[in-house]
C-alpha cells in the first residue's frame, strides 16, 4: 500500500511537472506570437510609411508635371482671349462701375465720414460700413505678402546673374532644366523651368510642406521683407493724408513710366505682335459662361476700389464743394484705360515667350502669382541686361503694391476713427496697432505652406462678400435713403443735379446687376485649389466663416439698431428689412437652376471674331 501511494505521488509530481512544462511552452508560444504580431505591426507601419513616401513622391511628380508642361496654371476663360473679357468689363463699367464710383465719392464727400460713419443718413445700414472695413482688413492680411515677394525678388535682382536663370541652386530639383536649354522642353511633362522652381522652391519652399495642415514656421527671409513693407506702410499712413498724399505722387506715377518702358521693349521682341493679336481677339462663345461675367464684375470692384471703403475714406477729405462728378468720370476712365494699356505690356511678353518656346500662347499665359513671379521673371531673364530690367520691373510692382495697400489700410483706419472719435487723438498708435495686426496674421502666409493660406484668403476674403457689400450699399442709398434726397445732396455740393441716367442706374440698374452677380457667384462657386492640391473640408469651412463674418455685419447691426430704437419704428423697420432679405433669398433660389444650366444652347447662335 505504501508503494502504491508512493507511485501515485510520483505520478502526480510527474503530471504537475508536465503541466508546468506545458504552461512554460504555452507562455513561450504566446511570447512568440506577441513577437510576431509586433514584427507584423512594424512591417505594416513600414509599408504605410513607404506608401506615404510614395504618395509624397507622386505629389511631387504631379507638381513637377504641373509646372513642367506650361510652367503655370491654365489661364481662366475670362482672361484669354481677353477680348471676350473686355465686353462684360466695359458693359459693367458703364452700368455699374461708374455709377457706384460716383455714388461712393459723393457719399464720402457730403458726409465727411469713413465707411461706417457715412451711414448716419440711414443708421440701420451702418452694418455695411463695417462689412467693407472688414473686407479691406482681410485683404490686407494677404495683399502685403505679395509686396513682400516683390521686395524679395528685388533684392535677388542685384546680382550679376539672376538666380532664376540656371539650375545650379540648392533648391533645384532633378527635373529642372536650364533656361537656355528650355526652348522645346515645355512639351516634356517631367521638366520645369528655373523661374518656376525659384518661386515655389527657392522663395516659398513649397517642397517642405504637404498642405495647409503642414505650414511650418515663418521663413526669416520673407518675414524680414514683410516687416520692411509694414514699416513703409506705417510711415506712409501715420499722419493721414498729409503723408500718404505725398507718397502717392511717387507710387501713382512710377508705374506709368515703367509700363511705358516695358511696352517699348516688349513690342521689339519676336512674337510680341502675336500676343497682342491674341489680346484683342474676341470669342463670343465665352460670353455664355457665367465665370466671365463674375470675373468682370469682381475686377470692376477691385480696379475701381468700389466696396472697399477706399473711395469713401479718401473723398471724405475733399472740400465740400469739390466736383466729385468730374472726378468720378475722369478717374474711372483713366483706370480703365490703364488696365487696357497694361494688357499690351503683358501680352507682348507672353507672345515673346510663346515664340521662344514654340508653344501655343494659352500654354504660357497664366493669372495670379504665376504671371508676375514666374512668367515675367523668366521673360526678363532672356533679355540683355536682365538684372537692370528685373530691378525696374520689381520696383514697379513695389510701387503698385504699396499704393494699393495704402488705400486699403486708410479705409480701415479712417472708417474706425470716424466711428470711434476718441481714436482721433491717438492716430499714430491706432495706425501702429492696425499694421502690426496685419503683420502678425500675414506671418501665416510666409511659412513653408503659406501659399495655401494665401490662396484660401484670396478665394474667400473678397469675392462674393464684396459684391454683397456693394449690393446692400446700393439698396440702402437708392431705396431707403432715397435717390431724390441723395441727388439733392449732390446738388448742394457741386450745384448740379445728377442726370436721369445716374438716377436710373442707382435705383434700378446697379442693384439688379449686383443682385444678379451675387446669385451667380453663389450658384457657380468652386472650392479653391492650388495646382493639383485640393483643400480639405475644414479649410473650406474656415474660408466660408471668413466670408460670412463680413457679410453678417449687415443683418446683425440692423437687428441691434432696431432693438434699440424706441416706438413702433422698430416693428415697421423689422418688417421692411425682413421683406428685403426674403426677396433676396427667393430670387437667389429662382436663379440658381437657371445659372447652373449648361450654356451650350447659345453656342449655335454665336461665333468668334477679331476686334
Confirm if 405 and 140 have CB atoms less than 8 A apart: yes
Would you tell me how many other CB atoms lie within 10 Å of the CB of residue 431?
24
Return the closest-CA partner of residue 107 out of 331, 312, 308, 330. Answer: 312
Return the closest-CA partner of residue 233 out of 386, 412, 396. Answer: 412
Confirm if 551 and 479 have CB atoms less than 8 A apart: no
Distance CA 154, CA 400 (A): 14
The conformation of residue 239, written as its DSSP 8-state character, comes to T
Distance CA 515, CA 68 (A): 41
Kindly state the cell numbers that stand for 163: 538666380
The per-residue DSSP string of 414-451 comes to HHHHHHSGGGGGGHHHHHHHHHHHHHHHHGGGGSTTHH
Alpha-carbon dihedral sign for residues 217, 222, 227, 230: negative
Kindly state the cell numbers that stand for 346: 503683358
Alpha-carbon Rg of the chain, whole angstroms?
31
| Phi and psi based region of residue 216 (left: phi greater than 0; alpha: psi -120 to 50; beta: remaining) | left
- Rounded to 5°, angle at Cα 392 from 386 and 393: 85
Distance CA 504, CA 483 (A): 9
Residue 303, marked binder: yes
Place of cell 466695359: 90
Distance CA 4, CA 440 (A): 93
The conformation of residue 284, written as its DSSP 8-state character, comes to G
Kindly state the cell numbers that stand for 504: 436710373
Place of cell 499722419: 239
Alpha carbon of 315 to those of 112, 114, 234, 328: distances in Å? 8, 9, 21, 11
Half-sphere exposure of 70 (CA within 13 A, CB side): 18
Kindly state the cell numbers that stand for 176: 529642372
108 class by beta-carbon count within 10 Å (0-12 exposed, 13-18 middle, 19+ buried): buried
228 class by beta-carbon count within 10 Å (0-12 exposed, 13-18 middle, 19+ buried): middle
- Rounded to 5°, angle at Cα 157 from 152 and 160: 145
| Phi and psi based region of residue 561 (left: phi greater than 0; alpha: psi -120 to 50; beta: remaining) | alpha
- Rounded to 5°, angle at Cα 376 from 303 and 90: 25
Residue 137, marked binder: no
The conformation of residue 536, written as its DSSP 8-state character, comes to -
Residue 403, marked binder: yes
Kindly state the cell numbers that stand for 446: 510666409
- Provide the angle, in degrees to the nearest 10, between the axes of the packed helices 386-419 and 126-157: 160
Residue positions forming the annotated binding site: 303, 335, 400, 403-404
Residue positions forming the annotated binding site for Na(+): 303, 335, 400, 403-404
Amino acid at each position: 500500500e505504501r508503494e502504491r501511494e508512493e507511485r501515485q505521488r510520483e505520478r502526480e509530481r510527474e503530471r504537475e511537472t508536465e503541466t508546468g512544462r506545458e504552461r512554460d511552452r504555452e507562455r513561450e508560444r504566446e511570447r512568440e506570437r506577441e513577437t510576431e504580431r509586433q514584427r507584423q505591426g512594424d512591417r505594416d507601419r513600414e509599408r504605410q510609411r513607404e506608401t506615404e513616401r510614395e504618395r509624397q513622391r507622386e505629389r511631387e511628380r504631379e507638381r513637377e508635371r504641373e509646372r513642367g508642361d506650361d510652367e503655370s496654371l491654365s489661364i481662366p476663360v475670362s482672361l484669354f482671349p481677353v477680348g471676350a473679357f473686355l465686353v462684360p468689363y466695359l458693359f459693367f463699367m458703364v452700368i455699374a462701375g461708374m455709377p457706384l464710383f460716383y455714388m461712393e465719392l459723393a457719399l464720402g464727400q457730403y458726409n465727411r465720414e469713413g465707411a461706417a460713419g457715412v451711414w448716419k443718413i440711414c443708421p440701420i445700414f451702418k452694418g455695411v460700413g463695417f462689412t467693407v472695413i472688414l473686407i479691406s482688413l482681410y485683404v490686407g492680411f494677404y495683399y502685403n505678402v505679395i509686396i513682400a515677394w516683390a521686395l524679395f525678388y528685388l533684392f535677388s535682382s542685384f546680382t550679376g546673374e539672376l538666380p532664376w536663370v540656371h539650375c545650379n541652386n540648392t533648391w533645384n530639383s532633378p527635373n529642372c532644366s536650364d533656361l537656355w536649354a528650355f526652348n522645346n522642353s515645355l512639351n516634356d511633362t517631367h521638366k520645369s523651368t528655373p523661374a518656376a522652381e525659384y518661386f515655389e522652391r527657392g522663395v516659398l519652399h513649397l517642397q517642405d510642406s504637404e498642405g495647409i495642415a503642414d505650414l511650418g514656421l515663418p521663413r526669416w527671409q520673407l518675414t524680414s521683407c514683410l516687416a520692411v513693407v509694414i514699416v513703409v506702410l506705417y510711415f506712409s499712413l501715420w499722419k493721414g493724408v498729409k503723408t500718404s498724399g505725398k507718397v502717392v505722387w511717387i507710387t501713382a506715377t512710377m508705374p506709368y513710366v515703367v509700363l511705358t518702358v516695358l511696352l517699348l521693349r516688349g513690342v521689339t521682341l519676336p512674337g510680341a505682335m502675336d500676343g497682342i493679336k491674341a489680346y484683342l481677339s474676341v470669342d463670343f462663345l465665352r460670353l455664355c459662361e457665367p465665370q466671365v461675367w463674375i470675373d468682370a464684375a469682381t475686377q470692376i470692384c477691385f480696379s475701381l476700389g468700389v466696396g472697399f471703403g477706399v473711395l469713401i475714406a479718401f473723398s471724405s477729405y475733399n472740400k465740400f464743394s469739390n466736383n466729385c462728378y468730374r472726378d468720378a468720370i475722369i478717374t474711372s476712365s483713366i483706370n480703365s484705360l490703364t488696365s487696357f494699356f497694361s494688357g499690351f505690356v503683358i501680352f507682348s511678353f507672353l507672345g515673346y515667350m510663346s515664340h521662344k518656346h514654340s508653344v501655343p500662347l494659352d500654354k504660357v499665359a497664366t493669372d495670379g502669382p504665376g504671371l508676375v513671379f514666374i512668367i515675367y521673371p523668366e521673360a526678363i531673364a532672356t533679355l540683355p541686361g536682365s538684372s537692370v530690367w528685373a530691378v525696374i520691373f520689381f520696383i514697379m510692382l513695389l510701387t503698385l503694391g504699396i499704393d494699393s495697400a495704402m488705400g486699403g489700410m486708410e479705409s480701415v483706419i479712417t472708417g474706425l476713427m470716424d466711428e470711434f472719435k476718441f481714436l482721433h487723438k491717438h492716430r499714430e498708435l491706432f495706425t501702429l496697432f492696425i499694421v502690426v495686426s496685419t503683420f502678425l496674421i500675414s506671418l501665416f502666409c510666409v511659412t513653408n505652406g503659406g501659399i495655401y493660406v494665401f490662396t484660401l484668403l484670396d478665394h474667400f476674403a473678397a469675392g462674393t462678400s464684396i459684391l454683397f457689400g456693394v449690393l446692400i450699399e446700393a439698396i440702402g442709398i437708392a431705396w431707403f435713403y432715397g435717390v431724390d434726397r441723395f441727388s439733392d445732396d449732390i446738388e448742394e455740393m457741386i450745384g448740379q443735379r445728377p442726370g436721369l441716367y445716374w438716377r436710373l442706374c442707382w435705383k434700378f440698374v446697379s442693384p439688379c446687376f449686383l443682385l444678379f452677380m451675387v446669385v451667380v457667384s453663389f450658384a457657380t462657386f468652386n472650392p479653391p485649389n492650388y495646382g493639383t492640391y485640393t483643400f480639405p473640408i475644414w479649410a473650406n469651412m474656415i474660408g466660408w466663416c471668413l466670408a460670412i463674418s463680413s457679410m453678417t455685419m449687415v443683418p446683425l447691426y440692423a437687428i441691434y439698431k432696431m432693438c434699440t430704437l424706441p416706438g413702433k419704428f422698430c416693428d415697421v423697420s423689422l418688417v421692411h428689412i425682413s421683406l428685403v432679405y426674403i426677396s433676396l433669398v427667393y430670387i437667389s433660389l429662382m436663379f440658381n437652376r437657371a445659372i447652373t444650366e449648361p450654356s451650350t444652347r447659345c453656342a449655335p447662335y454665336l461665333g468668334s471674331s477679331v476686334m
